[in-house]
Amino acid sequence: MGRLGILAGAGELPHIGMKEALAAGEDPLFLSIIESEFNVGEYADRNLPIHIVKIGALLKVCKRHNIDRLLLLGKVKKEIIFKNLKFDLKALSLLARMINRHDYSIFKTVSEEFAKEKITIISQKTYLQSLFLPEGKYTKKSLNKKELEDAEFGMEYAQKIAGLDIGQTVVVLDKSVLAVEAVEGTDLAIRRGGSYAKKGKATVCKSSKLNQDHRFDLPTVGVETLRSMYENNCGTLALRTGETIIVHPEEFINLAEKLKINILSIGDGKLAKINSTYQKKR
Protein backbone atom coordinates (compact mmCIF):
# COMPACT_ATOMS: atom_id res chain seq x y z
CA MET A 1 0.00 0.00 0.00
CA GLY A 2 1.14 3.52 -0.75
CA ARG A 3 0.91 6.62 1.40
CA LEU A 4 -2.02 8.80 2.35
CA GLY A 5 -1.97 12.38 1.14
CA ILE A 6 -4.10 15.01 2.84
CA LEU A 7 -4.99 17.73 0.37
CA ALA A 8 -5.16 20.55 2.89
CA GLY A 9 -7.16 23.75 2.65
CA ALA A 10 -7.61 26.37 5.35
CA GLY A 11 -8.76 25.64 8.89
CA GLU A 12 -8.23 22.97 11.51
CA LEU A 13 -9.72 19.92 9.81
CA PRO A 14 -6.49 18.91 8.01
CA HIS A 15 -4.67 18.89 11.37
CA ILE A 16 -7.39 16.76 12.97
CA GLY A 17 -7.25 14.37 10.02
CA MET A 18 -3.45 14.20 10.26
CA LYS A 19 -3.57 13.30 13.97
CA GLU A 20 -6.23 10.63 13.40
CA ALA A 21 -4.33 9.15 10.45
CA LEU A 22 -1.08 9.00 12.42
CA ALA A 23 -2.89 7.32 15.33
CA ALA A 24 -4.23 4.73 12.88
CA GLY A 25 -0.68 3.85 11.75
CA GLU A 26 -0.63 5.82 8.50
CA ASP A 27 2.42 7.70 7.23
CA PRO A 28 0.55 10.71 5.83
CA LEU A 29 1.75 13.82 4.04
CA PHE A 30 0.11 17.19 3.72
CA LEU A 31 -0.33 18.48 0.20
CA SER A 32 -0.98 22.01 1.41
CA ILE A 33 -2.82 24.32 -0.95
CA ILE A 34 -0.82 27.52 -1.33
CA GLU A 35 -3.86 29.50 -2.50
CA SER A 36 -5.63 28.68 0.79
CA GLU A 37 -2.78 29.96 2.99
CA PHE A 38 -2.75 26.73 4.98
CA ASN A 39 -0.92 26.89 8.34
CA VAL A 40 1.17 23.71 8.54
CA GLY A 41 1.97 24.16 12.26
CA GLU A 42 3.87 21.27 13.81
CA TYR A 43 3.90 19.16 10.64
CA ALA A 44 6.49 21.02 8.57
CA ASP A 45 8.38 17.76 8.03
CA ARG A 46 5.24 16.23 6.47
CA ASN A 47 4.33 19.13 4.21
CA LEU A 48 4.48 19.46 0.43
CA PRO A 49 3.09 22.84 -0.74
CA ILE A 50 1.13 22.65 -4.01
CA HIS A 51 -0.89 24.94 -6.27
CA ILE A 52 -4.47 23.69 -6.60
CA VAL A 53 -4.62 25.13 -10.14
CA LYS A 54 -1.68 22.97 -11.28
CA ILE A 55 -3.26 19.53 -11.50
CA GLY A 56 -0.49 18.04 -13.61
CA ALA A 57 2.12 19.05 -11.04
CA LEU A 58 -0.05 17.67 -8.22
CA LEU A 59 -0.28 14.29 -9.95
CA LYS A 60 3.51 14.22 -10.32
CA VAL A 61 3.98 15.00 -6.61
CA CYS A 62 1.66 12.13 -5.69
CA LYS A 63 3.58 9.71 -7.92
CA ARG A 64 6.95 10.87 -6.62
CA HIS A 65 5.93 10.30 -2.99
CA ASN A 66 4.00 7.05 -3.56
CA ILE A 67 0.66 8.61 -2.61
CA ASP A 68 -2.18 6.35 -3.70
CA ARG A 69 -5.01 7.77 -1.55
CA LEU A 70 -6.10 11.37 -1.06
CA LEU A 71 -8.17 12.85 1.75
CA LEU A 72 -9.64 16.28 0.97
CA LEU A 73 -9.93 18.42 4.09
CA GLY A 74 -10.12 22.13 4.81
CA LYS A 75 -11.64 25.14 3.12
CA VAL A 76 -10.85 26.04 -0.47
CA LYS A 77 -12.65 29.17 -1.63
CA LYS A 78 -14.40 28.56 -4.91
CA GLU A 79 -13.69 32.09 -6.08
CA ILE A 80 -10.08 31.13 -6.83
CA ILE A 81 -11.30 29.78 -10.18
CA PHE A 82 -12.51 33.28 -11.04
CA LYS A 83 -9.19 34.92 -10.22
CA ASN A 84 -6.38 35.49 -12.68
CA LEU A 85 -4.42 32.39 -11.69
CA LYS A 86 -2.06 30.43 -13.92
CA PHE A 87 -3.70 27.06 -14.53
CA ASP A 88 -1.41 24.39 -15.96
CA LEU A 89 -2.27 22.51 -19.15
CA LYS A 90 -3.79 19.55 -17.30
CA ALA A 91 -6.07 21.86 -15.27
CA LEU A 92 -7.11 23.77 -18.40
CA SER A 93 -7.87 20.49 -20.15
CA LEU A 94 -10.08 19.34 -17.26
CA LEU A 95 -11.89 22.67 -17.05
CA ALA A 96 -12.67 22.44 -20.76
CA ARG A 97 -14.31 19.02 -20.22
CA MET A 98 -16.61 20.14 -17.40
CA ILE A 99 -20.26 20.67 -18.24
CA ASN A 100 -20.34 23.55 -15.70
CA ARG A 101 -18.25 25.00 -12.86
CA HIS A 102 -20.41 23.70 -10.02
CA ASP A 103 -18.42 22.32 -7.09
CA TYR A 104 -19.36 18.70 -7.77
CA SER A 105 -18.64 18.94 -11.50
CA ILE A 106 -15.12 20.13 -10.67
CA PHE A 107 -14.61 17.41 -8.07
CA LYS A 108 -16.02 14.60 -10.23
CA THR A 109 -13.86 15.52 -13.22
CA VAL A 110 -10.70 15.81 -11.13
CA SER A 111 -11.38 12.60 -9.16
CA GLU A 112 -11.85 10.65 -12.40
CA GLU A 113 -8.50 11.94 -13.65
CA PHE A 114 -6.80 10.86 -10.42
CA ALA A 115 -8.45 7.43 -10.64
CA LYS A 116 -6.80 6.95 -14.06
CA GLU A 117 -3.47 7.34 -12.24
CA LYS A 118 -4.57 4.81 -9.56
CA ILE A 119 -4.98 7.51 -6.91
CA THR A 120 -8.19 7.09 -4.90
CA ILE A 121 -9.96 9.94 -3.15
CA ILE A 122 -11.34 8.54 0.12
CA SER A 123 -14.31 9.55 2.30
CA GLN A 124 -13.85 12.61 4.49
CA LYS A 125 -15.39 10.54 7.28
CA THR A 126 -12.47 8.10 7.30
CA TYR A 127 -10.45 9.92 9.95
CA LEU A 128 -13.07 12.33 11.33
CA GLN A 129 -15.55 9.96 12.99
CA SER A 130 -15.38 11.79 16.33
CA LEU A 131 -16.64 15.02 14.74
CA PHE A 132 -20.24 13.96 13.98
CA LEU A 133 -23.13 14.46 16.40
CA PRO A 134 -25.78 11.75 16.81
CA GLU A 135 -29.40 12.81 16.43
CA GLY A 136 -30.60 15.00 19.27
CA LYS A 137 -30.64 18.44 20.86
CA TYR A 138 -27.40 19.62 22.41
CA THR A 139 -28.44 22.71 24.36
CA LYS A 140 -30.83 22.93 27.29
CA LYS A 141 -33.37 25.52 26.14
CA SER A 142 -36.49 24.02 24.53
CA LEU A 143 -37.66 25.34 21.19
CA ASN A 144 -41.19 26.63 20.71
CA LYS A 145 -43.55 25.50 17.95
CA LYS A 146 -42.51 28.30 15.54
CA GLU A 147 -38.81 27.55 16.01
CA LEU A 148 -39.36 23.84 15.36
CA GLU A 149 -41.37 24.62 12.24
CA ASP A 150 -38.60 26.92 10.99
CA ALA A 151 -36.00 24.17 11.55
CA GLU A 152 -38.08 21.64 9.61
CA PHE A 153 -38.86 24.13 6.83
CA GLY A 154 -35.25 25.31 6.58
CA MET A 155 -33.70 21.84 6.47
CA GLU A 156 -35.90 20.93 3.51
CA TYR A 157 -34.68 23.96 1.58
CA ALA A 158 -31.05 23.54 2.67
CA GLN A 159 -31.05 20.01 1.24
CA LYS A 160 -32.61 21.27 -2.00
CA ILE A 161 -30.03 24.01 -2.59
CA ALA A 162 -27.25 21.56 -1.71
CA GLY A 163 -28.64 19.24 -4.38
CA LEU A 164 -28.40 22.06 -6.90
CA ASP A 165 -24.73 22.70 -5.92
CA ILE A 166 -25.56 26.27 -4.91
CA GLY A 167 -24.62 26.06 -1.23
CA GLN A 168 -25.46 24.15 1.93
CA THR A 169 -26.98 26.78 4.20
CA VAL A 170 -30.23 28.71 4.40
CA VAL A 171 -31.31 31.26 7.00
CA VAL A 172 -35.05 31.25 7.75
CA LEU A 173 -37.60 32.98 9.96
CA ASP A 174 -41.37 32.46 10.09
CA LYS A 175 -41.13 29.88 7.27
CA SER A 176 -39.51 32.41 4.98
CA VAL A 177 -36.03 32.07 3.48
CA LEU A 178 -33.99 35.16 4.39
CA ALA A 179 -30.71 34.11 2.79
CA VAL A 180 -29.25 31.30 0.70
CA GLU A 181 -25.54 30.51 0.79
CA ALA A 182 -23.71 30.67 -2.52
CA VAL A 183 -20.06 31.30 -3.36
CA GLU A 184 -19.61 33.78 -0.47
CA GLY A 185 -19.74 31.06 2.22
CA THR A 186 -21.69 30.33 5.40
CA ASP A 187 -20.66 33.28 7.58
CA LEU A 188 -21.63 35.92 5.03
CA ALA A 189 -24.93 34.15 4.36
CA ILE A 190 -25.64 34.24 8.11
CA ARG A 191 -24.83 37.95 8.17
CA ARG A 192 -27.18 38.67 5.27
CA GLY A 193 -30.00 36.55 6.67
CA GLY A 194 -29.66 37.86 10.20
CA SER A 195 -29.90 41.45 8.99
CA TYR A 196 -33.54 40.77 8.02
CA ALA A 197 -34.49 39.12 11.33
CA LYS A 198 -35.88 42.19 13.07
CA LYS A 199 -38.83 40.55 14.85
CA GLY A 200 -37.27 37.33 16.14
CA LYS A 201 -34.29 35.03 16.09
CA ALA A 202 -33.55 33.44 12.73
CA THR A 203 -32.75 29.75 12.26
CA VAL A 204 -29.65 28.63 10.35
CA CYS A 205 -30.07 25.28 8.58
CA LYS A 206 -27.13 23.41 7.08
CA SER A 207 -27.50 20.21 5.07
CA SER A 208 -25.69 17.93 2.69
CA LYS A 209 -27.41 16.97 -0.52
CA LEU A 210 -29.46 13.77 -0.79
CA ASN A 211 -27.01 10.91 -1.44
CA GLN A 212 -24.05 13.16 -0.64
CA ASP A 213 -20.66 11.96 -1.91
CA HIS A 214 -18.72 11.69 1.36
CA ARG A 215 -15.38 12.17 -0.36
CA PHE A 216 -16.04 15.82 -0.91
CA ASP A 217 -17.51 18.96 0.66
CA LEU A 218 -19.32 17.61 3.69
CA PRO A 219 -20.99 20.50 5.55
CA THR A 220 -18.77 21.88 8.31
CA VAL A 221 -19.42 24.18 11.27
CA GLY A 222 -17.30 25.45 14.13
CA VAL A 223 -17.15 28.13 16.81
CA GLU A 224 -16.88 30.88 14.19
CA THR A 225 -20.27 29.79 12.86
CA LEU A 226 -21.75 30.27 16.32
CA ARG A 227 -20.11 33.67 16.76
CA SER A 228 -21.50 34.80 13.40
CA MET A 229 -24.95 33.64 14.45
CA TYR A 230 -24.75 35.42 17.82
CA GLU A 231 -23.65 38.69 16.20
CA ASN A 232 -26.40 38.49 13.56
CA ASN A 233 -29.59 37.65 15.45
CA CYS A 234 -29.70 33.89 14.75
CA GLY A 235 -30.80 31.66 17.63
CA THR A 236 -30.97 28.08 16.31
CA LEU A 237 -28.58 25.95 14.26
CA ALA A 238 -30.04 22.84 12.62
CA LEU A 239 -27.67 20.24 11.15
CA ARG A 240 -28.05 16.97 9.24
CA THR A 241 -27.21 14.01 11.51
CA GLY A 242 -24.09 12.09 10.47
CA GLU A 243 -23.49 14.47 7.54
CA THR A 244 -22.14 17.60 9.25
CA ILE A 245 -18.60 17.91 10.57
CA ILE A 246 -18.35 19.73 13.92
CA VAL A 247 -14.88 21.14 14.52
CA HIS A 248 -14.05 20.48 18.22
CA PRO A 249 -17.57 19.28 19.24
CA GLU A 250 -17.23 19.77 23.01
CA GLU A 251 -15.95 23.34 22.68
CA PHE A 252 -18.65 23.98 20.08
CA ILE A 253 -21.50 22.78 22.31
CA ASN A 254 -20.17 24.63 25.36
CA LEU A 255 -20.02 27.91 23.42
CA ALA A 256 -23.53 27.36 22.00
CA GLU A 257 -24.83 26.96 25.56
CA LYS A 258 -23.03 30.12 26.66
CA LEU A 259 -24.41 32.11 23.71
CA LYS A 260 -27.91 30.60 24.17
CA ILE A 261 -27.92 29.16 20.64
CA ASN A 262 -29.98 26.00 20.14
CA ILE A 263 -28.20 23.08 18.42
CA LEU A 264 -30.32 20.44 16.67
CA SER A 265 -28.87 17.39 14.95
CA ILE A 266 -31.73 16.21 12.75
CA GLY A 267 -31.94 12.71 11.33
CA ASP A 268 -35.06 10.68 10.60
CA GLY A 269 -36.65 11.18 14.02
CA LYS A 270 -39.50 13.51 14.90
CA LEU A 271 -38.38 17.06 15.68
CA ALA A 272 -40.71 17.31 18.66
CA LYS A 273 -39.12 14.21 20.20
CA ILE A 274 -35.62 15.53 19.49
CA ASN A 275 -36.57 18.84 21.11
CA SER A 276 -37.72 17.12 24.29
CA THR A 277 -34.48 15.18 24.76
CA TYR A 278 -31.39 17.09 25.87
CA GLN A 279 -28.21 15.18 25.05
CA LYS A 280 -25.29 15.46 27.44
CA LYS A 281 -22.31 17.37 26.11
CA ARG A 282 -19.68 15.20 24.47
pLDDT in tens, 212-223: 999 988 999 999
Domain presence at residue 162: yes
pLDDT-based confidence at residue 163 (cuts at 50, 70, 90):
very high
Q: What is the CATH number of the domain that holds 255?
A: 3.40.140.80
Query: Looking at the predicted structure, is the pLDDT value of residue 1 above 80?
Result: no
Q: What is the CATH number of the domain that holds 38?
A: 3.40.50.20
pLDDT-based confidence at residue 85 (cuts at 50, 70, 90):
low
Domain presence at residue 104: yes
Query: Looking at the predicted structure, is the pLDDT value of residue 95 above 90?
Result: no
Give the integer Cα–Cα distance in Å for 27 and 5.
Answer: 9
162 and 268 share one domain:
yes
Q: Calculate what percentage of the chain has a pLDDT beyond 70.
A: 90
Query: How many domains does the chain divide into?
Result: 2
Tell me which of 60, 86, 121 is where a domain ends: 121
163 and 237 share one domain:
yes
Specify the pLDDT at position 82. Answer: 56
258 and 150 share one domain:
yes
pLDDT in tens, 99-149: 555 666 677 878 888 899 999 999 999 999 999 999 999 999 889 999 999
pLDDT in tens, 15-61: 999 999 999 999 999 999 988 888 999 999 999 999 887 888 999 99
41 and 97 share one domain:
yes
Exposure string over 21-41, b if 16+ CB within 10 A, otherwise e = beeeebebbbbbbebbebebe
First to last CA, the chain: 35
Domain presence at residue 75: yes
81 and 142 share one domain:
no
Tell me which of 100, 121, 142 is where a domain ends: 121
**pTM for this model (two decimals):** 0.87
Mean pLDDT of the chain: 89
Specify the pLDDT at position 142. Answer: 86
93 and 139 share one domain:
no
20 and 102 share one domain:
yes
Domain housing 79: 3-121
269 and 166 share one domain:
yes
Tell me which of 89, 121, 153 is where a domain ends: 121
Using DSSP bridges, classify how beta strands 169-173 and 176-180 pair: parallel, antiparallel or unpaired: antiparallel
pLDDT in tens, 201-260: 999 999 999 889 999 889 999 999 999 999 999 999 999 999 999 999 999 999 999 999
Specify the pLDDT at position 146. Answer: 94
Contact 62, 5 (CB under 8 A): yes
